Structure 1
Amino acid sequence: MSNPTSDTTIAKKAKGNSYKRRIAGDVVAYIFLTVMAVIWLMPIVWVFLESFNKNTQPYQSTFFPTKYTFHNYVQLFTETDVMNFPRMFLNTLVIAIFVCIISLFFVLSVSFCMSRLRFRGRKTFMNIALILGMFPSIMAVIAVYFILKAFGLTEGGFVIIALILVYSAGSGAGFYVMKGYMDTIPMSLDEAAYLDGCTKWQVFTKIIIPICKPMIVYQAIIGFLTPWLDFVMAKAIARTQDNFTVALGLWQMLQKEYINQWYARFAAGAVCVSIPIAILFIVMQRFYQESMSGAVKG
């Protein structure tokens, strides 16, 4: 017969060893996450501190600035004779807002048609959209530019309209994520609404859209960030500083004729560019949480 005392001792030792292994695993995990957090935050901290650097030269003896000033932000928004950053910021904000609204409507409309309606050519259209989505959009930059040039949209104030058209026109093809979410909504809701006399538009606006609020938040963020962060398409279409976006303005600040005077202001501009994105995430996160809580209650 086995000794109960020895069995208890072995169990305690095994429990103690398991506890030690769990503690060791947690310590290793926390150390790894701390190191990764430092690596991820270091560039952000550096850019933020560099935006207050009194020395505007790009090459310095220390990693972090030694003297700080707020003058970089003042110059960025007041000295507009060489580079009009406020105008670039306003251009990008206008483009991003319009693209966000238009692309959201396109994606919702196409997703509703693909998810709730059945018609000839539906699967063919979905397959074509899927295949076209596999090719990077940069392949069509030259073709898009010459099409816009043929319509006279590459000069003057029409450049802003051209960028809005380019960023929002093809957004409807990215309907797969939204459609996948709509497919999870029971068709019985649509059928009950039709029996009550609702039209397809009423089903779309009063049933589908309220349920899709989490995905609407996601699509709104994507639609806003696409023109806000894009460089390639804006570089191909916008030719003068009057039509530059913030991405082109920041790139211009690092050119050899500007970098010695604009390097610190480049960092200040990068901080300013991140502010609307942070505000958008904070605002949209609240709506996302409210919509998810409502979905759980339902």
Structure 2
Amino acid sequence: MRKDTKEQTMTSTAPQQGNGFMHDQRKRRIFGDVVTHVFLAVMAVIWLLPIVWVLLESFNENTAPYQTTFFPRKYTFANYVQLFTDRNVMNFPRMFANTMIIAIFVCLIQLFFVLSVAFCMSRLRFRGRKAFMNIALVLGMFPGIMAVIAIYFILKAFGLTSGGWVILALIIVYSAGSGAGFYVMKGYMDTIPMSLDEAAYLDGCTTWQVFTKITIPICRPMIVYQAIVGFLTPWLDFVMAKAIARTQDNFTVALGLWQMLQKEYINDWYARFAAGAVCVSIPIAILFIVMQRFYQESMSGSVKG
């Protein structure tokens, strides 16, 4: 009888233990989900708060930097109007146009250089190839800011640091060393089967035709990435532009926004600085949206292929 009661007790407690374990596991999962969502919500607020503040500050009627409230009390669109119409102190439209011209040319030149060098390093075999790759890798470890002084004096020797030549100088500076950053593009090209190139050569294609009609269409996702990087480099750079551009006629938007925060301008231009920051972010947002669509289309096409 005792043996039977023990067996009954064991059989009755086994489901209870199993249910308790499942219940505890469900509690831990719910607790983990709650902690994760709370953490993500806090991080989202921390990330979005500065953006929201700059956006609201750009409509602030009070242009002074020192205020009693965190968010503006009165809003106006005059900051945007004055930013583009008041050109006596700062010619922001000129700075915006300068940056746009530099960014477009640098984007195209960098894209061509990187694609060309990556294609040569990935698909062609020639003497000194590995040595060049090693040298480019070592040089890429040094920050570009180390060469600012040398670059400035070289450009000054050629007379490119004054007048309208400054725009050309900035385009040259941002584009000159772009070919050395070919490693990411080369890594993507290495995944393309060499049999495609060999089949094209058998059909009578030249190296240029293989490059333009086979390699480039397959590399569209990386082309999108490189185009974004090439555009953002001059658009966001401050150090190189500050070293070369000395007058407001040649300023980029980064220098213009920095100038607005100087002590002689900050009381009247603080709210316009926020408006300028919003205007500067608009082309970047448009570029990301457009390029993301092309990236998704190219990736879906490659999967179908």
Shorter-normalised TM range: over 0.9
Q: Following the alignment from structure 1 to structure 2, what is the Cα–Cα distance between the partners of residues 208 and 4?
A: 68
Pair 1:222 & 2:205 matched = no
Match of 1:76 among 61, 65, 83: 83
Q: Following the alignment from structure 2 to structure 1, what is the Cα–Cα distance between the partners of residues 52 and 136?
A: 41
2:3 corresponds to = none
Pair 1:166 & 2:173 matched = yes
2:27 corresponds to = 20
2:69 corresponds to = 62
Give the structure with higher Rg (CA).
Answer: 2
**Which runs of at least 4 in structure 1 moved beyond 3 Å after TM superposition?**
1-5
Pair 1:268 & 2:280 matched = no
Unaligned runs of 5+ in 2: 1-6
Q: Following the alignment from structure 1 to structure 2, what is the Cα–Cα distance between the partners of residues 8 and 179?
A: 59
Q: Helix, strand or coil: the match of 1:68?
A: coil
2:242 corresponds to = 235
Matched letter for residue 122 of structure 1: R
Query: What is the RMSD of the two structures over their aligned residues, measured on CA atoms?
Result: 0.9
Q: Following the alignment from structure 1 to structure 2, what is the Cα–Cα distance between the partners of residues 190 and 23?
A: 54
Pair 1:185 & 2:192 matched = yes
Per the TM alignment, residue 271 of structure 1 is displaced from its structure 2 partner at its CA by: 0.2
Using the size of structure 2 for normalisation, the TM-score is 0.96
Pair 1:194 & 2:187 matched = no
Pair 1:147 & 2:154 matched = yes
1:32 corresponds to = 39
2:4 corresponds to = none
Q: Helix, strand or coil: the match of 2:222?
A: helix
1:45 corresponds to = 52
2:136 corresponds to = 129
Q: Following the alignment from structure 2 to structure 1, what is the Cα–Cα distance between the partners of residues 85 and 32?
A: 54
* Equivalent pairs, count: 298
Using the size of structure 1 for normalisation, the TM-score is 0.98
Post-superposition CA distance 1:234-274 (Å, at most 9, x none): 00000100000000000000000000000000000000000
1:294 corresponds to = 301
1:255 corresponds to = 262
Per the TM alignment, residue 4 of structure 1 is displaced from its structure 2 partner at its CA by: 3.8
Q: Following the alignment from structure 2 to structure 1, what is the Cα–Cα distance between the partners of residues 217 and 197?
A: 13
Per the TM alignment, residue 18 of structure 1 is displaced from its structure 2 partner at its CA by: 1.1
Match of 2:14 among 2, 7, 27: 7
Pair 1:90 & 2:109 matched = no
Q: Following the alignment from structure 1 to structure 2, what is the Cα–Cα distance between the partners of residues 9 and 120?
A: 75
2:213 corresponds to = 206
Unaligned runs of 5+ in 1: none
Q: Helix, strand or coil: the match of 1:81?
A: coil
1:119 corresponds to = 126
Matched letter for residue 67 of structure 1: K
